[in-house]
């Protein structure tokens, strides 16, 4: 019997609201009572059209936004406590780099933020500089959170990102990422969740969803969000 892997990421009845200037609708609900869990060693795809609530959910994980209600646990600790994010790496969709720093200098800066010993930091920098994901990998995270990691990359770049994700999985790491590239998601993800208008519309193993709908993942996605040709 296969061992049950521990839960690394637990989203518990998460609700996120933002105020608006519309008197008729003073509050916009970005995420509606979302519950999900991701286990150790999984590659989990977080899917949805623009405005579905994916980035908002990630921002709560990372402490950039606060939950209106519910919670997110990382390694069993609420994200309301900064220590919860000690073992994660994050790559935003729009990555900002300090133009006055070289790649090595930037990674040394991140290494100091994570209090990585100098010798170990230099070893990791040598390995990480070969990758576009370097800043997210410098602290050797157990959970990697990626927001559209292949956006804007050519086919070779996308292939290299897939290889990195597979290597991390082989090392027992957990990867949670959003993407609009359904072909890539279908290739590398163990499970996926599909959000639409802030709500969870489908969740499960990729092969199960594909078998259930008898079509590829892109067509499953379009059916789930109710897209009509």
Q: What is the pLDDT of residues 52-81, one digit of tens each?
A: 999 999 999 999 999 999 999 999 999 999
pLDDT of residue 1: 39
Residue 177 in contact with residue 149, Cβ under 8 Å? yes
Please give the pLDDT value at position 154. 73
Helix, strand, coil percentages, rounded to 5, for the chain: 35, 30, 40
Q: What is the mean pLDDT of residues 141-155?
A: 82
What pLDDT, on the 0 to 100 scale, is given for residue 227? 82
For residue 154, the SS3 value is coil
Give the pLDDT of residue 159: 83
Give the model's pLDDT for residue 114.
67
pLDDT of residue 161: 81
H-state helical runs in the chain: 54-61, 103-113, 118-128, 134-137, 155-170, 182-188, 206-213, 217-224
User: For the chain, what is the mean pLDDT?
Assistant: 84
**Contact present, 32 and 52 (Cβ < 8 Å):** no
What average pLDDT score do residues 3-26 get?
89
Q: Is the sign of the CA dihedral 156, 160, 162, 166 positive or negative?
A: positive
Can you give the pLDDT at residue 91? 77
**pLDDT value at residue 65:** 92
Question: Which residues touch 111 (CB under 8 Å, ≥6 apart)?
Answer: 118, 121, 124, 125, 138, 139
pTM of the entire predicted model = 0.81
Nearest alpha carbon to residue 62 among 90, 34, 42, 37: 90
Strands 69-74 and 43-47, by their bridges, are unpaired
The values of phi and psi at residue 144, to 5°, are -110, 125
Query: Scanning the structure block, which residue is given the tokens 């994916």?
Result: 54
Sign of dihedral through CA atoms 106, 110, 112, 116? negative
> How high is the pLDDT of residue 86?
84
Alpha helices in 42-154 (DSSP H): 54-61, 103-113, 118-128, 134-137
Does residue 129 register a pLDDT over 60?
no
Residue 102 clears pLDDT 60, i.e. is over it: no
Confidence (pLDDT) at 2 = 52
Chain length of the chain: 229
Q: Of the ranges 10-19, 63-72, 99-108, which one carries the lowest mean pLDDT score?
A: 99-108
Query: What is the structure's pLDDT at 17?
Result: 95
Give the closest residue to 125 by CA, choosing from 144, 106, 141: 106
Q: Is the pLDDT of residue 218 over 50?
A: yes
pLDDT of residue 127: 53
């Amino acid at each position: 019997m296969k061992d049950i892997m521990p839960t690394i990421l637990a989203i518990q009845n998460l609700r996120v609201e933002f105020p608006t200037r519309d008197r008729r609708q003073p509050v916009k609900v970005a995420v509606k009572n979302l519950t999900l869990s991701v286990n150790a060693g999984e590659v989990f795809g977080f899917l949805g059209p623009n405005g579905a609530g994916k980035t908002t959910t990630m921002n709560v994980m990372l402490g950039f936004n606060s939950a209106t209600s519910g919670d997110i646990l990382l390694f069993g600790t609420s994200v309301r406590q900064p220590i919860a994010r000690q073992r994660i790496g994050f790559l935003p969709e729009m990555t900002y780099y300090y133009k006055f720093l070289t790649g090595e200098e930037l990674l040394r800066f991140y290494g100091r933020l994570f209090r990585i010993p100098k010798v170990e930091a230099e070893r990791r920098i040598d390995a990480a500089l070969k990758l576009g994901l370097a800043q997210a990998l410098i602290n050797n995270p157990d959970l990697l959170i990626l927001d559209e990691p292949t956006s804007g990359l050519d086919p070779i770049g996308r292939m290299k990102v897939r290889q990195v994700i597979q290597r991390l999985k082989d090392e027992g790491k957990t990867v949670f990422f959003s993407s609009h590239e359904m072909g890539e998601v279908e290739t590398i993800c163990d499970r996926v969740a599909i959000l639409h208008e802030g709500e969870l519309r489908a969740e499960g193993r990729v092969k199960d969803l594909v078998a259930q709908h008898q079509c590829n993942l892109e067509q499953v996605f379009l059916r789930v969000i109710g897209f009509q040709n």
